[in-house]
Amino acid sequence: MKRALLLAGSLVLILAAVLIGRAARPGGQRASPPAAEPLALDSARVLERFAAAIRISTVSEDDPGRRDPQQFVALHQLLGAVFPHVQGRLVRETVNRYSLLYTWPGTNSGAAGVLLTAHQDVVPAESAKWSHPPFSGEIAGGYVWGRGTLDDKVAVLGILEAVDALVAEGFRPRRPVYLAFGHDEEVGGEAGAAAIAALLRARHVPLEVVVDEGGAILQGVVPGVAAPVATVGVAEKGSVTLALTAHGAGGHSSMPPPRSAIGRVSRAIDRLENDPFPARLDGANLGLFEAVGPEMAWPYRVLFANLWLTRPLVLRALTAQPSTAAAVRTTLAPTMLQAGVKENVLAPSARALVNLRILPGETVSSVIERVRRVIDDSAVAVSVEGQGDDPSPVSPSDTAPFRAVTGAIRQIYPAAIPAPFLVVGATDARHYAGLTRNVYRFAPLPLTGADLDRLHGVDERIAVVDYLRAVRWYAQVIRRLAR
């Protein structure tokens, strides 16, 4: 018995040494980057142009009848007036009346192009709750305030400022550069980005890389990492909304059947919530932790350096929080429930909508099949509401375009750790996925957890210094990608 205990103790010590030894390996990724090339900017004019764009309420409403297309026309007029070098050097086209496509010819016309994309539209805002009116574009307290300062006029104006400055200083791209600004990303992008992508495909335009929004520079958000993490999306989840419908006989509530329509739909939702999709740590979501692992504090560093052993424990911890669970599993959220007309009348039918965000490796078809299997009730019909999208392909993180994007990040934000990751929401980038394998989702926005709440929320704003720095990042990434 004593020898067995000694042997067991020795094995434990050896295992502990292996785990700690793996965690103690140096990261090797923190060498100082070369200095970014200078960019001449008139800060006051840059800020006023940005504020002027925020004042134009290019709101996307779910109801097409409530949209005001003249706001997009006004934005186009502004962009044409305030960026003279862009207007004089690039060719601008209007696609589907309200989306914009700019073409900057390269010195090598046969080279595959660089596409930077962003969207002009914003979500609605309730003015009464804001510290500064959402379409005021006020510059106060070191911030520019208003809807679009984070999502996504910051990218539209930031890209155009960068290009305008580059043209002014005489920069000539070797690769053709395309700027694509859709007008309906917040409601799916079908009339905007999808139409631009179809136009480029019809023209047989070769693309080397696409850069869109999606990731950001997160401070205090990634567990165990004190340094800011620049998350570069290499893929995004798919999505589908399913309708669960059951029918009943109706009648007076004093004589209820054993199972009502409402009961059937309720039981279906309960079964789905109690049998979630399995969690996985692989592909795009694993890339983030591989990149930041060497920078993690203990004991996070030990856990993520030894996933061969600790993966079940890590997954259990990640799935305990909604924000991290979304990165490692297909999620299912009941969002609407419709049934009944009076408190003493049995509902003749009941209908619920559940929204699923689909992890790469699964498809719309596969998640529907699993939903039906888990519900296990032939009286509950499952149908697709609207249009579903499969997850995007996973773009490689070992290519020259990815290194150009992350290299520009390290030049402008030297304290940040660039890392690939999975975007859990939807972006316009998915419409361009068929044009190149190199599709990267990153906006140069330093964000804390509180800032994340401002996205689509109240008091959206960006620090003046952060906006000016974002313009410099767009200029630097264009230089690196277009050479």
Q: Give residue-wise pLDDT tens across range 183-210.
A: 999 999 999 999 999 999 999 999 999 9
DSSP code, position 127? G
Split at pLDDT 50, 70, 90, the class of 429 is very high
Q: Is 418 helix (H, G, I), strand (E, B) or coil?
A: strand
Q: Residue 2 — very low, low, confident or very high, per pLDDT cuts 50/70/90? A: low
* Residue spans of alpha helices (H) in 106-238: 153-168, 193-202
| Helix, strand, coil in percent for the chain, rounding step 5 | 40, 20, 35
What is the set of domains in the chain, with CATH numbers? 43-233+392-482 (3.40.630.10), 237-389 (3.30.70.360)
At 293 the pLDDT is: 86
Whether the pLDDT of residue 475 is over 70: the answer is: yes
Say how many C-beta atoms besides its own lie within 10 A of residue 446's C-beta: 20
pLDDT of amino acid 230: 98
Q: Once rounded to an integer, what is the mean pLDDT over residues 224-237?
A: 96
Look at residue 411 in the predicted model and tell me its pLDDT: 97
Confidence of residue 16 (pLDDT cuts 50, 70, 90): very low
- pTM here is 0.92
Alpha-carbon distance of 391 to 180, in angstroms, equals: 22
Query: 177-182 and 99-104: which strand pairing?
Result: antiparallel
Q: What pLDDT is stored for residue 18 in this prediction?
A: 39
Task: Inform me whether the pLDDT recorded for 225 exceeds 80.
Answer: yes
- Lowest-confidence region among 73-77, 131-135, 287-291, 400-404: 287-291
Identify whether 185 is a catalytic site residue: yes
- Per the residue annotation, which of 138, 164, 185, 213 is the catalytic one? 185
3-class secondary structure, 67: coil
Asked if pLDDT for residue 8 goes beyond 90, the answer is: no
Task: Assign 3 a pLDDT band (cuts: 50, 70, 90).
Answer: low
The arrangement of strands across the sheet holding 143-145 comes to: 139-140, 143-145, 461-463
- According to DSSP H, which parts of 306-379 are helical? 307-318, 322-328, 364-375
Predicted confidence at residue 4, as pLDDT, reads: 45
**What average pLDDT does this structure show over 156-162?**
98
Identify each DSSP E strand in 248-390 by its residue range: 331-339, 349-358, 381-389
Q: Which residue in the list 121, 164, 184, 390 is annotated as catalytic?
A: 121
The model's confidence at residue 39, banded by pLDDT at 50, 70 and 90, is very high
pLDDT-derived band of residue 49, with 50, 70 and 90 as boundaries?
very high
Beta bridge pairs of residue 116 = 179, 211
pLDDT-derived band of residue 30, with 50, 70 and 90 as boundaries? low
Q: Is 298 helix (H, G, I), strand (E, B) or coil?
A: coil
